[in-house]
Chains A and B, each alone.
Chain A
Amino acid sequence: MKEYLDFSKGPLPLIEDYEGAPFWEGTRQGEIRFPKCQDCSKFHWYPCTLCPFCHSPNIKWQALTSQAKLFTWSYVNWNLPAFGIRGPYIMVLVEFDEAPGFYLTSDLVECRPEDVSIGMPLEVVFQRVNDKITMPLFKPTDDRQS
């Protein structure tokens, strides 16, 4: 697995004993999983105890398979080690067709800041940080580059 970014100095996600843990189980298996209400069939993000649409407790995590698009972004080009910030990098909010109105935060890789545009299609790539943590990152879809 390719190393796109250096995660060794910044904070790492909590991956056990909290309501977001199934997400990281998914990334270890190469999937982006969101919580989905089994009653109204809608995905939501961030994880909730009850479905924010129909308030059902009947929620299961499922893989997202739809197109990801760039909702918005920021180019961070400075360093503040106490905050775990080590630029330059491009942060993105990613929206999936299956979960409109919910945005996954990530970093955009293999893309220059001048080539970023809102709405551009993205594909996920995974970077293994250690045995337990695999970070999902995004890059422009291949057909865009061709």
Chain B
Amino acid sequence: MKRLRDKVAVVGIGETEYLRNSGRRPKELIIDAVHKALDDAKLTSSNIDGMVSGFNGAQLFSCNDLAYNLGIKYRFHGDMGDFSGSNTSSFHLAAIAITSGMADFALTYCTTTYGSLMKILDGEVEEGTEEDASKVVPMGMKDSFEAPYGSNMPGVFFAQMANRYMHEYGITKEQLVKYLGAIVMNQRHNAILNGKGVMHRQLSYEDYINSPIVVDPLKRDDCYVISDGACAWIITSAERARDCPNIPVYVTGMGYGCTPMGSADAFTQKAGGYLYKPHESSSLEQALQMADITREDLSFAEIYDSYSTQLLLSLESLGFCKKGEGGPFAESGAISLEGSLPVNTHGGHLSHSCIYGATHVVEAIHQLRGEAGACQVHDAKIGMVSAGTIWENYVTLFRRD
């Protein structure tokens, strides 16, 4: 994969406002984000000739419908809408399309309308409407063998993992709460500095420990925030990127890892690793190899974080610290903006917004262009985005000149 190193670059990013219950339809959000990405790149829709949809993008607004609305004529299309890894997986597909000449400018878009979804659950919006489309992800055997017992809420799975984790590493609940608190407070701090997300209220450790329990030991503030929003980005060849107005942000490393497992095995079986996903570290190794760098070269890392426990386990899986030591690593301040590995510099899913990792990509680009404002990591040169599902993981490494 080394021959793909630095061959494509991100030249435009767009993001909507992030709000709870925005009242905006997914199509409006997507069009808003795409317009902003085009403006950012100083391109028009007539320049776009490749479409790569991310999770919940194409499900809610198909590529051809979006293209019809915007007047895009495309000659390459790929749907990477495979759950939570799709924001980073788009770079794999776009790199193939662009380096092989199948497209010159590829557009990716993602959205989440959980804020509106909550209105449906609260009975405020009629079911079957567009906002309702993301409500039910058919889970097959999980519907029969897990849901009747009350598990159809991801927090249950992550609480079960937390209890097992404490058992395996001899960590007390008091210690775990301190560790998770360190992660949650760090991301809230970043989100407040970023200012564009949905959480703006300071969170003290006392506030955190008094936050209501969702599924013990997880508290409300250990869970992703409910939000509406959309992101879009435009990828092109390195040569074309140098003619675009923004500082090119090159895709310098890409990695993919997968552990085959049954369709119902996610979260509740040993297949794929119960606590640790081997494909998380293998995808990072592959990306580092392609970029010819080491973990120490990373200026920051944006890591998928729907639950604080998920981030804790990922820090260990990805090899930034030893297994069982993610807590002390987080507590040491290593993951803060001034630390050795600033993590989720915009606040992540826990405090900024939850667009399935799409904001993690946008934030990485902001950081490398030096436009991350109060969250700016000093002298950021290479950044990592990691996202995936239980059975697979994508890592993308970005670099600036």
Contacts A13-B144, A101-B270 known; list 15 others, CB within 8 Å: A19-B141, A46-B141, A72-B164, A73-B160, A74-B216, A78-B213, A83-B121, A83-B152, A85-B150, A85-B153, A89-B149, A91-B149, A101-B269, A102-B269, A118-B167
| Contact (Cβ within 8 A) A14 B144 | yes
| Contact (Cβ within 8 A) B160 A13 | no
Q: Which of A10, A52, A85, A118 contacts B271 (CB 8 A)?
A: A52
Residues 9-23 of A, flagged 1 when their CB comes within 8 A of B and 0 if not, give: 011111100111001
Number of interface residues of B (CB under 8 A): 31
Task: Give residues 173-204 of B contacting A (CB, 8 Å).
Answer: none
Q: Which of A11, A101, A104 contacts B148 (CB 8 A)?
A: A11
Cβ-based interface call for A103 (8 A): yes
Tell me the complex Cα distance, A23–B146, Å.
13
Name A's B-contacting residues (CB within 8 A).
Answer: 7, 10-15, 18-20, 23, 45-48, 52, 71-78, 80, 82-87, 89, 91, 93, 101-107, 113, 118-119, 135
Name B's A-contacting residues (CB within 8 A).
Answer: 121, 141, 143-153, 156, 159-161, 163-164, 167, 213-216, 262, 264-265, 268-271
Query: Could you say which residues of chain A place their CB within 8 Å of the CB of B160?
Result: 72-74, 91, 93
Q: List 19 A-B contacts (CB under 8 A).
A: A11-B147, A11-B148, A20-B145, A46-B265, A47-B141, A52-B262, A74-B156, A76-B150, A78-B214, A82-B121, A84-B147, A85-B150, A91-B149, A91-B156, A106-B149, A107-B149, A118-B163, A118-B164, A118-B167
| Contact (Cβ within 8 A) B268 A93 | yes
Chain B residue, CB-CB nearest to A49: B262
Chain B residue, CB-CB nearest to A7: B148
Query: Could you say which residues of chain A place their CB within 8 Å of the CB of B151?
Result: 91, 105
Q: Which of B143, B215, B264 contacts A14 (CB 8 A)?
A: B143
Count of chain A to chain B residue pairs whose CB atoms are closer than 8 Å in the complex: 109
Chain A residue, CB-CB nearest to B123: A82
Query: Could you say which residues of chain A place their CB within 8 Å of the CB of B149?
Result: 89, 91, 105-107, 135
Chain B residue, CB-CB nearest to A100: B270
Chain A residue, CB-CB nearest to B122: A82
Query: Could you say which residues of chain A place their CB within 8 Å of the CB of B216?
Result: 74-75, 77, 113
Tell me the complex Cα distance, A101–B262, Å.
14
Tell me the complex Cα distance, A71–B165, Å.
11
Query: Could you say which residues of chain A place their CB within 8 Å of the CB of B213?
Result: 77-78
| Contact (Cβ within 8 A) B164 A105 | no
Q: Shortest CB–CB separation between residue B190 and chain A, in angstroms?
A: 28
Q: Which of B145, B148, B152 contacts A46 (CB 8 A)?
A: B145
Tell me the complex Cα distance, A58–B163, Å.
37
| Contact (Cβ within 8 A) B167 A72 | yes
| Contact (Cβ within 8 A) A48 B214 | no
Tell me the complex Cα distance, A15–B216, Å.
31
Query: Could you say which residues of chain A place their CB within 8 Å of the CB of B269?
Result: 45-46, 101-103
Tell me the complex Cα distance, A59–B148, Å.
26
Q: Shortest CB–CB separation between residue B281 and chain A, in angstroms?
A: 20
Query: Could you say which residues of chain B place their CB within 8 Å of the CB of A119?
Result: 167
Tell me the complex Cα distance, A127–B73, Å.
59
Query: Could you say which residues of chain A place their CB within 8 Å of the CB of B164?
Result: 71-72, 118
Tell me the complex Cα distance, A4–B356, Å.
38
| Contact (Cβ within 8 A) B271 A72 | no
Chain B residue, CB-CB nearest to A19: B141
Query: Could you say which residues of chain B place their CB within 8 Å of the CB of A76?
Result: 150, 156, 159, 215
Q: Which of A14, A82, A87, A104 contacts B150 (CB 8 A)?
A: A87
Query: Could you say which residues of chain A place their CB within 8 Å of the CB of B163?
Result: 72-74, 118
Query: Could you say which residues of chain A place their CB within 8 Å of the CB of B262?
Result: 46, 48, 52
